[in-house]
Amino acid sequence: MNYCKFTIMALWMLGAETMLAQTRMTLRQCMEYAISNSTKMRISQADREDERILRREAIMQVFTPSVQAQTNIYNQYGRNLDPETNTYNTVTTFHNGYSLSAGITLFDGFRAINNLRIAKTTQKLGVSKEEETRDQICLATMEAFYNYAYYHQLEAVLEKQVETSEKALERARREEQLGRKGHADVVQMESELAQKRYQFINTANMKEDAFITLKDVMFWPMTEELLIDPETKEPASMLVATDDLILTAKATQPSARIAQLNLKNAEINLKSARGAYSPTLGLYAGWSTSYYTYPGNNNYKKIPFKDQFKNNAGEYIQLQLSIPIFDRFERRTRVSQRKHDVTRAMANYDQKMRDIENEVYRAVADRDGAQASFYQADKLSNVQEEAFNLSLKQYELGLISAIEYQTASQTYLNAKAERLNSLLKWKLKDAVVRYYNGEAYINQD
């Protein structure tokens, strides 16, 4: 009985895994998979870890002292200084020293504070770069997904066209046998079928190529099966004033934040370079002791290690002020370079703001144009479908020639292909506009 229960449970789990493996992935799931498996994202995450480490190091440099402990052991031969009498002798002496020191910079022209600010800004900069990388992966996945969806649905249309042409050819052959149509009509229908089969095979090949591209963008294993849900519903209309869209894009785009943070870092670096002209004030303290003996010499009294460790101990405290006077114009050169960095960063920021403004105008124009093209292509497709169905009936009744039927069929196919193409273009352009409106690609329905 337990064996039967185990077998039923195993079969149920196997079925559940099979159903899970056969689940068709939506566009959002494809983007999530691409992000989680992208090598660019792994590199970006490693960069984020480095930035967190550098920020922690900058915090420690500002708020904590440096502490060092040292010890040494050495023998002195020949003429050397006697540590007991502080006079020179020629006796071999064994030395063992210990020291502990600590120091903290009280003022350095705010360079440590500026380094901490740079570390914080660099961390924010890294987050923005990671967002930009994620958005680029999502957009590339979206383009590959829609390209596959186009050929997938076009293949379905062509498959129906092939079936229709096969039936028409069979009908033409029967009517030839009955003497209602000539052999030329049969040849034309064979040509029509051959053309549709060629287009079907060619589209299937392009679909396979698009599928490989999608797997590559997603970092999906090429040998594993991937099932896609190529939905092509019309995007919801979004009415946003272009000026408002530009303001939102400048405030939310990762590229805009990157340019802004680069400018901020350049300005902080300039302040840090100017701070090098300021004096440096540091506080230092230390303790040290030593032990010595005269190996193989019985003329000197041996003092125990414990007593020497205590008696030879000494402490010091030091307040050090360092004033820069002349460094062969190194500080002056560094300040000039940092000024130029600020100028470049400001120019890059202004250029990025202008680029975003132009991209928004172009994206809105492309979206509106793609939308208008789709509506027209949809109307044309509906009209051509009706015209094709009418031509098919007319051909069956012998009212039109095979050439006229072939022309109507090809025109209908072109209209269906253009409708699919314009719809997917509209969806892609609409997604870009939504992205500029602050809606990440992966969060779009």
Rounded to 10 degrees, what is the CA torsion of 402, 404, 410, 414? -170
Provide the residue-wise pLDDT of the chain in tens; the chain has 445 residues.
443 443 433 333 434 344 334 578 899 999 999 999 999 999 998 999 999 998 998 998 888 899 999 999 988 887 777 777 777 777 788 889 999 999 999 998 888 888 888 899 998 889 999 999 999 999 999 999 999 999 998 998 889 888 888 888 888 888 778 777 778 878 888 888 898 899 999 999 999 999 999 999 999 999 888 888 887 778 876 778 899 999 999 999 999 999 999 999 999 999 999 988 999 999 999 999 999 888 867 767 788 889 889 989 999 999 999 998 988 888 999 999 999 999 999 999 999 999 999 999 999 999 999 999 999 999 999 999 899 889 888 877 778 877 788 888 888 888 989 999 999 999 999 999 999 999 999 988 6
- CA 425/CA 360 separation, integer angstroms: 17
**CA-based radius of gyration for the chain:** 40
Ordered by where they begin, the domains of the chain are 24-64+110-278+327-443 (1.20.1600.10), 70-107+280-323 (no CATH)
C-beta contacts of 231-239 below 8 A and 24+ residues apart: 231/26, 231/27, 231/149, 232/149, 232/153, 232/420, 232/423, 232/424, 232/427, 234/374, 234/423, 234/426, 234/427, 235/426, 235/427, 235/430, 235/431, 236/445, 238/430, 238/433, 238/434, 238/437
Quote the pTM value: 0.80
Q: What is the pLDDT of residues 74-91, one digit of tens each?
A: 888 877 777 777 777 777
pLDDT 10s digits, 286-319: 999 999 888 867 767 788 889 889 989 999 999 9
